[in-house]
Structure 1
Amino acid sequence: MPDSPGLGEQALNKATEIGLSSQLDEVENLDVNIKTDPLKLVQGEVDAVTIQGEGLVMQKDLRMEELEMQMTSVAINPLSMAFGKIELTKPTEAKALVVLTETDINRAFNSEYVRSQLQTQKIHIKGELRTINPQHIEFRLPGDGKIALNASIKLVETGENQQVAFSAVPRISANGKTVALENVEYGESEEISPELTKAFIDETSEILNLNNFDLEGMNLQVNHLKVEVGKLTLQASAYIEKIPSASK
């Protein structure tokens, strides 16, 4: 079979899979496919590197349903291959696709990290400074290019329960690194505190911040954000200075 990878490619595929997995909290499936021919490999030339992953859990308990990354014309140090590594001799660019589901983002919102972020803030509610304790946060992707959030919180000082509900349209910032929420519309309940709503809007932007998806040596910049019922798709370009590999 002419298309079957050679031993050198197989070793690199496996080393890169292990290296990437070592940077993730959880991995359901990860597949690295390196295409080149043995003569080019000796000269440090790789035609293409494709990375495909499913169920990848990053820092802050943020899970990606899917990750696809494609690099072409990659220059590597041929000596590094003897150690089962891909050492880039110059940075390379890649195309990347990240899919997040409604369930993934809900998981992040209800993680210990986000709860602690919200609990450390003192927020003005009806003229009084209050500490909030999130009871349950429901993030939804209802379609129409919108996100929606409904949160029940307890005010620590009074034991009172309050609701926060709004919908908004996510937009990529000019630098391609952050997501801002525009056209905020409030739910049926009156807005009890602009500061409280802002805290949840800021936290939504923080969860969708593209720095969360950067792996060591890889830097993502989002070009397009697609919001559908139940899922968010981010199309990005990646600037790659190094490809994580299995440490020896």
Structure 2
Amino acid sequence: MPDEHRLEEEFISQEAERRISEKLDGAEKIEIDVQTDLLKIVQGQADGVSVVGKGLAIKEDIRVQEIKLQTDSININPLSALFGQIELNEPVNATARIILTEVDINRALASDLIRTQMQNLELDVDGEIVSFEPQEIKVFLPSDGKIECRGRVLLKEKGNTRPLAYTAVLRPRTHAKPAMLESFNCTEGEGVSIELVTALMQKVKELMNLPYLKWEEMAFSIKDIKLEKGSLILLVETQVKQIPSSITELSL
């Protein structure tokens, strides 16, 4: 019987791998393991799903170096599962370990897909609205546990628009330590006021202290961040109500 169960798992897992591979622009490795058997499939159940991927290219200039994901037990649509499509009947919890390289992060930040989603950041500075329009941003990941950002923005305040270039060095939040901004320097432009810097730091603090983030039908929280030379490692917990349509269609 165990061998029969394994054959059923392999059939569904391989069909899921085939469907996802067809929609990816490229993948060095993709392995999906649907942990179930025929009886559970008929009942719309699975003990869990694990995904291991390396070098996954998702549409234009979006690439993940490595991902390892494991779900809890799930309730699924039995007919869709037989054809390798996982449609959730109830929300499911999952944990993931994601590795992003410095090269891939910067390629994504420069892509039209991400740039079109970058919205102006608006701040209330002593009752006046000041906005930042991102023009360029690059991330550098040295081996000392820091993230360095270099960028240019258009700063709009008091009816005037002016360019501003900056460099910032920070240590991301981990399970043991809060996020720390080590330095912020203006490299081009007239600089910024102390009031504006204070409002910006308050906004960043609010964003970093959010208990979770939402994206379509997913709620996720970053539990830990680790830095290695040239790589960013995220440990993430998620609750998925349904597989996002933008994943299915591979359009973020």
Q: TM-score range by the shorter chain?
A: 0.5 to 0.7
TM-score (norm 1): 0.63
2:50 aligned partner: 50
Aligned partners of 2:142 and 2:229 also within 8 Å: yes
Aligned partners of 1:27 and 1:54 also within 8 Å: no
Aligned partners of 1:20 and 1:244 also within 8 Å: no
TM-score (norm 2): 0.63
Report sequence identity in percent: 31
Structure 1 residues 164 and 219: CA distance shift in structure 2, 3 A:
same
Segment of structure 1 superposing worse, 222-231 or 25-34? 25-34
After superposition, the C-alpha distances for 1:41-100 in whole angstroms (9 at most, x for unaligned) are: 333332231111223345785432111111232233434444543333322211111111
1:185 aligned to 183, 193, 202, which one? 183
Equivalent positions of 1:215-230 (< 5 A) are: 217-230=217-230
Q: How many pairs does the alignment contain?
A: 225
User: Following the alignment from structure 1 to structure 2, what is the Cα–Cα distance between the partners of residues 143 and 19?
Assistant: 38
Structure 1 residues 139 and 13: CA distance shift in structure 2, 3 A:
same
User: Following the alignment from structure 1 to structure 2, what is the Cα–Cα distance between the partners of residues 59 and 170?
Assistant: 28
User: Following the alignment from structure 2 to structure 1, what is the Cα–Cα distance between the partners of residues 91 and 117?
Assistant: 35
Aligned partners of 1:69 and 1:94 also within 8 Å: yes
Aligned partners of 1:36 and 1:47 also within 8 Å: yes
Unaligned runs of 5+ in 2: 123-129, 156-161
1:242 aligned partner: 242
Structure 1 residues 244 and 169: CA distance shift in structure 2, 3 A:
closer
What is the one-letter code of the residue matched to 1:141? L
The alignment's C-alpha RMSD in Å is 4.8
Unaligned runs of 5+ in 1: 123-128, 174-179
What is the one-letter code of the residue matched to 2:85? K
User: Following the alignment from structure 2 to structure 1, what is the Cα–Cα distance between the partners of residues 114 and 134?
Assistant: 11
What is the one-letter code of the residue matched to 1:192? G
After superposition, the C-alpha distances for 1:201-231 in whole angstroms (9 at most, x for unaligned) are: 97xx89xxx869x5x6443222112223221
After superposition, the C-alpha distances for 1:226-247 in whole angstroms (9 at most, x for unaligned) are: 2232211111112122347989
Equivalent positions of 1:1-248 (< 5 A) are: 2=3, 5-6=6-7, 8-17=8-17, 20=20, 26-28=25-27, 29-57=29-57, 61-113=61-113, 134=135, 137-151=137-151, 163-171=165-173, 182-186=180-184, 189=187, 192-193=191-192, 217-243=217-243
User: Following the alignment from structure 1 to structure 2, what is the Cα–Cα distance between the partners of residues 115 and 42?
Assistant: 44
What is the one-letter code of the residue matched to 2:166? V
After superposition, the C-alpha distances for 1:113-136 in whole angstroms (9 at most, x for unaligned) are: 5556779799xxxxxx9x9895x7
Aligned partners of 1:98 and 1:233 also within 8 Å: yes
The structure showing larger relative contact order (alpha-carbon pairs under 8 Å, at least 6 residues apart) is 1
Aligned partners of 1:27 and 1:56 also within 8 Å: yes
User: Following the alignment from structure 2 to structure 1, what is the Cα–Cα distance between the partners of residues 173 and 244?
Assistant: 30
Aligned partners of 2:91 and 2:240 also within 8 Å: yes
User: Following the alignment from structure 2 to structure 1, what is the Cα–Cα distance between the partners of residues 240 and 183?
Assistant: 39
Structure 1 residues 107 and 35: CA distance shift in structure 2, 3 A:
same
